[in-house]
Amino acid sequence: MGLEIITNNLGFFFDGAVLTLAISLSAIVIGFALGIFMGLARISRIFPVRMIATGYVEALRGTPLLIQIFIIYFGLPSIGIYLSPIVSGILAVGLNSAAYQAEIIRGGIQSVPKGQLEAARSMGMSYKQSMRRVVLPQAMRLIIPPMTNEFIILIKDSSLVSAISVWELTLVAKELNAKYFDPFTVFLFVAVVYFVMTFATSKILRVVEKKTAIPGYGAGD
């Protein structure tokens, strides 16, 4: 059937792609919110806080995302917590992304010259004020390039939520392949769709990177 499979099922592919992007965007937001907290905790002067954050980061980065998805979707009901497949998928991918974003944010903060913090402190700002008003704004602009890579990875990693029956792009492809028995056509088209999404994302964020580049830091050169 070839191209007829694609043309006759464009609606399913479109819905799957939209859900894939929605999952990825939701996960990146969750990961960013938690990643800021964990990134700051990773450089905290309070030893227990630093160790808890380090443990979280190492545990989430050191175990497969698919297993984390299974723990949340299949494991949490054993302790009375029931989540839908979509919520489970978004939560798992978001928590996993938080571990990576925490390291990106930590690296961004530590890339800001120490003189910036010292200058802010010399002006009478507290440590928290200096971080919030001086260091973090600069760090946020520095982390855009690695965050672009993280979002692209998230779009691809979101395919793993198909394992818990979330009707995103990969599951759409699996179901259509089971119906038409044409894996080459179906999965090649899905690969092209993923490429278009990641390529467009990288180009859009590259523009943002150039517009927010800090002179002298090399970003956007």
Region 43-63 average pLDDT: 95
Asked, for residue 151, whether it belongs to a domain, the answer is yes
CB 20 within 8 A of CB 201: no
pLDDT band, very low/low/confident/very high, at 65 (cuts 50, 70, 90): very high
Which has the minimum average pLDDT: 75-84, 132-141, 172-181? 132-141
Asked, for residue 220, whether it belongs to a domain, the answer is no
Cα 169 from chain centroid (whole Å) = 17
- Predicted pLDDT at 220: 43
CATH code for position 148: 1.10.3720.10
Q: Indicate if the pLDDT at residue 55 is higher than 90.
A: yes
138: domain range?
Answer: 3-212
Place of tokens 């939209």: 18
- Predicted pLDDT at 19: 96
Amino acid sitting at position 134: V
The tally of domains found in the chain comes to 1
> What does pLDDT average to over the chain?
91
pTM: 0.88
Task: Dump pLDDT digits (tens) for 176-185.
Answer: 999 999 999 9
Angle at 87 between CA 146 and CA 171, to 5 degrees: 80
Asked, for residue 103, whether it belongs to a domain, the answer is yes
Q: Give every CB contact of residue 36 below 8 A, 6+ residues apart in sequence.
A: 101, 102, 105
pLDDT band, very low/low/confident/very high, at 81 (cuts 50, 70, 90): very high
Asked, for residue 149, whether it belongs to a domain, the answer is yes
Task: Dump pLDDT digits (tens) for 90-136.
Answer: 999 999 999 999 999 999 999 888 888 888 888 888 878 888 888 88
- Predicted pLDDT at 219: 43
Place of tokens 């200058």: 119
